[in-house]
Amino acid sequence: MQKRRFTALLAGLVTSAALGLAMPASAQPYQDEYKLSTVLGEAFPWGWGAKRWADLVAEKTEGRIKIKVYPGTSLVSGDQTKEFTALRQGIIDMAVGSTINWSPQVKELNLFALPFLMPDHKAIDALTQGRVGRQMFEMLAERDVVPLAWGENGFREVSNSKKPIRTPTDLTGMKMRVVGSPLFLATFNALGANPTQMSWADAQPAMATGAVDGQENPLAVFNAAKLHTVDQKHLTLWGYVADPLIFVVNKKVWNSWTEADREAVTAAAQQAAKEEIARARAGISADDDKLLKEIEANGVAVVRLSDAERDAFRTATAGVYKEWAEKVGADLVKQAEEDIAKR
């Protein structure tokens, strides 16, 4: 009797496969462990957010989905710009990724790196939490991934070992480490600097040896990475671009989970993202400047630009903004500008 039932069940499965019928997600085996890629470790808000997501998923799925976080983009040998491709191919199962690092594959993500587009955190929120953010998620969903939530690495400030930066001419000839994005090269070339693309793993040794003079990163990264110890003693708050993060899952992995577990993973991503953004913004405002004071206490001279001084940098990069706005998509950029103006 038991043998006949097994034979009937097997026949049914074969028939379903022959007819091309989709198997229910619950019938698909879960992996023992899912690989989650991120650039930075737990000492940084970015890496903390990834670990928080993994922990929340384990909790909300009662251990059915176990996630291991791989910082340093170690799953792609540290090459940040290859992370999105590896995610699409299934080499990586999940990621908390940077819009900057994924922009070579998804040109629309360059929107966030247009120089001086976003003046404050309300502007970031207007984009990521509004129609632009929804449109970005729709674009990503067409590329073999399922985006679930927006996080944040923060506004990128510029530092160096040579002198205070107050005007575009202060950057003339300065060797600057930048991420692997053509838009960043264009921006720093427009400012007269000598930009060099390199991974974050290579950046700190390069600063320590003087191979590069400076870099640009959010304040939380500057502090957690102890960049004052690699001679980054001049820091200018110019907020020229911000770096939203995206919590995503590979589409095949997503489709292998039950509907209930998908909902749990989504809820976990949204909670972790909200908490991560709060961490990324902590200590850098007029009301809460604890992080800035800590940076200054380490011997770093902090330059706070006036509106007129910041406008000089905006003017110097206006040509880059115009050129790249066309590459990103004129309609999308216009939409972003309108939403920021309404904030």
Which of 229, 258, 281 represents a domain boundary (last residue)? Answer: 281
Q: Which residue has the higher pLDDT, 14 or 223?
A: 223
Nearest alpha carbon to residue 250 among 77, 97, 117: 97
- Does any domain span residue 19? no
Q: Which residues contact 79 (CB under 8 A, 6 or more apart)?
A: 73, 180, 199
Residue 166 lies in a domain: yes
Instruction: Spell out the residues 6+ positions from residue 245 whose beta carbon is closer than 8 angstroms to its own.
Output: 46, 49, 96, 97, 98, 99, 150, 151, 152, 153, 273, 276
Q: Is 218 found in the same domain as 120? A: no
pLDDT tens, residue by residue, 257-308: 999 999 999 999 999 999 999 999 999 988 899 999 999 999 999 999 999 9
Cβ-based neighbours of 99, under 8 Å, separated by 6 or more: 109, 111, 112, 113, 243, 244, 245, 246
**45-93 pLDDT per residue, tens:** 999 999 999 999 999 999 999 999 999 999 999 999 999 999 999 999 9
How far apart CA 315 and CA 286 sit, in angstroms, is 26
Residue 286: its pLDDT value, please? 85
Residue 232's domain spans which residues? 157-241+284-341
Instruction: Answer yes or no: do 132 and 232 share one domain.
Output: no
pLDDT, one tens digit per residue, over 9-56 is 444 433 333 334 344 444 479 999 999 999 999 999 999 999 999 999
3-class DSSP assignment, residue 194: strand
At 28 the pLDDT is 75
Domain count, the chain: 2
Please state whether 158 falls in left (phi above 0), alpha (psi between -120 and 50) or beta.
beta
Q: Please give the mean pLDDT across all residues of the chain.
A: 92
Question: Phi and psi of 240, rounded to 5°?
Answer: -75, -30
What pLDDT, on the 0 to 100 scale, is given for residue 8?
43
For residue 7, tell me if it sits in a domain: no
The pLDDT of 315-321, averaged and rounded, is 98
Res 6: pLDDT: 37
Q: Does the pLDDT of residue 241 top 60, yes or no?
A: yes
Look at residue 139 and tell me whether its pLDDT is greater than 70. Answer: yes
Tell me if 9 is assigned to some domain: no
- Residue found by looking up tokens 């993202």 in the block: 273
Supply φ then ψ for residue 95, to 5 degrees.
-160, 155
Using CB atoms within 10 Å of the CB of residue 261, give its burial: 0 to 12 exposed, 13 to 18 middle, 19+ buried.
Answer: buried
The tokens for 56 are 């929340």
Judge whether 24 lies within some domain. Answer: no
DSSP of 29-45, one letter per residue?
Answer: PPPS-EEEE-SS-TTSH
Do 222 and 310 belong together in one domain?
yes
Q: Residue 198: give its domain's CATH number.
A: 3.40.190.170
